[in-house]
Amino acid sequence: MDMRVLLISVLLGFVSHVRAKTDSNECISKNAKTCGECIRTGPQCVWCKDPDFKPSRCDEMESLQKAGCTALGIENPRGTVTIDKNKPVTNRKIEGGENLRPEEITQIQPQKFTLNLRSGEPQKFTLTFKRAEDYPIDLYFLMDLSDSMRSNLENVKNLGADLAREMRDITKDLRIGFGSFLGKLVMPFIPMTPKYLQNPCFPNDSTAPFSYKNVLSLTNDSTLFTQEVSKQKTSGNLDSPEAGFDAIMQAAVCTKEIGWRNVTRLLVFSTDAGFHFAGDGKLDYPTISQLVDTLSDNNIQTIFAVTEQFRALYQELSALIPKSTVGTLSTSSSNVIQLIIDSYNSLSAEVILENSRLPPDVFISYVSHCKNGVSRKGESGRTCFNISIGDEVTFDIEITAKGCPSDGKSETIKIKPLGFNEEVEIVLNFICECECHKDGIPNSQSCHFGNGTLECGVCRCNNGRLGRLCECSQDEVKTDDLDANCRRGKGTEVCSNNGECVYGMCECKKRDNPEERYSGTFCECDNFNCDRSNNKLCGGHGRCECRKCICDPNYAGSACDCPLDTSTCLASNKQICNGRGTCECGVCKCTDSKFQGPTCEICPTCPGVCTQHKDCVQCRAFATGDKKDTCEKECGYFNLKVVKMMNELPHPHDQPYINHCKERDANDCWFFFTYASKNDSTIEVHVVEELTC
């Protein structure tokens, strides 16, 4: 296998292992020194504040309970969600409905939450959004008045009355305003000669060049709109791109001057040219990102009403601006009203939730539940499409904190539907300490004669004191390098890499298995890393102390796998190993090469082997001979196999210590057999089934 592939496979396996560990319900900070440190690790970690509790205080609930922590000693604060303001969404009809002020209309519910967040524990809540009928609209028409738009201006003059009439099925509360733009009054955009500045389109009648004018603030007087727009004249400049971004920025932020209400805000941007943006001049223009942020911050939805020539350009721009759309102007803008209505319907059919900037280590996720049972997750979970007036959709929102964000100080974030004035306020409180933190006992006698505060069952030392019980003075340890007190020697690991150096003293790690422990001044010892035999620590015949086996009586060896008892080496003559070997760890080691077997009593090559076993072979193979009556009792010490022909007997090279035997019976007939002692000390006899007489 390619080494790169192998490495990737190993890494993927490691990542999967780590993910499996971190995604489990296991507490991974069992060495936490304080209750706050413990609970900030994750929701699975629980603290025991019982004063005399000896095991690790930070662990899973079940482990602490098994270790004897009392119910009153458990510290396990949990997060909560509280609804602080919950005004129902508005239900009313455009015909016959009650007249409500904009601030009395509610489209998103609830409006305020308080979340208490513990590290790693998500808190969930649901928002409901419903498009209200007859919702007020402010529409500001921002028009390019360069001379090429002269014919378009004529069709816009009657826009106020015509638009109010056409949109009566959408809202009865429509206000409309008008602004115009051209270009910056500097070279090279505008010639700065007096004649040009007076009438740039001479001999045609035109107005002096300008950058941006708020011609008419938002009003519900359509007659006034017609009068003011009718007074407008086109003007001229040198280049085709216009200063539209400048005009949009001013129209968006000048809330009082434009007259924006907290209702649906539409800005119709009408032009037959491109746009200047940042970098185009020494009196610089806004960047696209500034434009996006400003429109979003002021809840303005933008309709780009442009000629076919520039449609593609503005579609690219619109893709960067949430809640914006592009419509194509026909010749002389004769379709501008239908364009506005279609664009408004398109914009209002989309609901996009946006949240304000999150504090560091705070995370948010959305799941939308839209029309026709459609649900979305991830970034798509912020959005629902094809929402009609009166439709209701919901969003499940989950907020999670990691650690102790903002040093435990409360934060407030807001969620709002883009293009709408309403927002949801969410107060975030972070659970960084346990309740027992408030009940600390200063100068407690439990902390070495009052040298610390007893807090949640452990000591928090006063200044100048160190140690688990504040038993050490800083003068007693090397305060310039506390870790040096936790090393066995120069170049060695702190606490042998098996613990933490706390105020110059090693506190050894706790193991998942409570029977396994690190120990020693520098955590250099443990009771689980000794030699093993038969997969048992110290062979099951000793205990592990500081990585060495201490054997039980009658056992020896590095893994206590050598019994000192010699009874297993006694031969039938009561001699150790038949006097022909030594007993080592309960097993005979034969010193005479001719002898073998568990007690060195078998001698396959000694003279008389055939004669010695003749009677037993005869009685078992042929039921004859001197031992036929005692055969079962005396002759069961070997395995017997019968073969048909002599050439089927094992050959001498088949196994060690094989004997070929030929013996005569009482009827003067010969029988043939082999006698062999195998390596596992069993005896095997092969006999030819027919006698030779």
Pick the more confident residue, 573 or 387. 387
The mean pLDDT of 452-481, rounded to a whole number, is 81
pLDDT at residue 149 is higher than 90: no
> What was the pLDDT predicted at 169?
80
Buried b (16+ CB within 10 A) or exposed e, 106-124: bbbbbbbbbbbbbbbbbbe
Distance CA 267, CA 304 (A): 8
pLDDT tens digit sequence for 562-586: 999 988 898 876 778 977 899 999 8
> What was the pLDDT predicted at 503?
67
- Per-residue confidence at 120, pLDDT binned at 50, 70, 90? very high
- Per-residue confidence at 205, pLDDT binned at 50, 70, 90? low
Pick the more confident residue, 194 or 1. 194
Query: What residues contact residue 248 under an 8 Å CB cut-off, 6+ apart?
Result: 142, 267, 269, 286, 291, 294, 295, 302
In three-state secondary structure terms, 644 is coil
The mean pLDDT of 258-269, rounded to a whole number, is 94
Distance CA 166, CA 139 (A): 14
> What was the pLDDT predicted at 556?
92
- Per-residue confidence at 15, pLDDT binned at 50, 70, 90? very low
Distance CA 517, CA 469 (A): 21
pLDDT tens digit sequence for 510-555: 887 878 889 888 999 999 999 999 999 999 999 999 999 999 999 9
pLDDT at residue 173 is higher than 70: yes
Contact call for residues 170 and 131 (beta carbons, < 8 A) = no
pLDDT at residue 97 is higher than 50: yes
> What was the pLDDT predicted at 46?
95
CA angle 446/451/456 to nearest 5° reads 50
Neighbours of 535 (CB within 10 A): 7
Which of the residue ranges 44-48, 481-485, 567-571, 611-615 would you say has the lowest mean pLDDT?
481-485
Q: What percent of the chain has pLDDT over 70?
A: 86
pLDDT tens digit sequence for 266-324: 999 999 887 866 544 556 678 889 999 999 999 999 999 998 999 999 999 999 998 99
The tally of CA atoms less than 13 A away on the side-chain side of residue 76 is: 20
Q: What is the largest CA-CA distance in the chain?
A: 154
pLDDT tens digit sequence for 317-346: 999 998 999 999 887 677 888 999 999 988
In three-state secondary structure terms, 429 is strand
Residue type, 562: C
pLDDT at residue 197 is higher than 70: no
Sign of CA dihedral 613, 617, 618, 620: positive
The mean pLDDT of 225-245, rounded to a whole number, is 78
> What was the pLDDT predicted at 488?
87
Angular region, 73: left φ>0, alpha ψ -120 to 50, beta rest = alpha
Average pLDDT over the chain reads 85
> What was the pLDDT predicted at 127?
98
Neighbours of 455 (CB within 10 A): 23
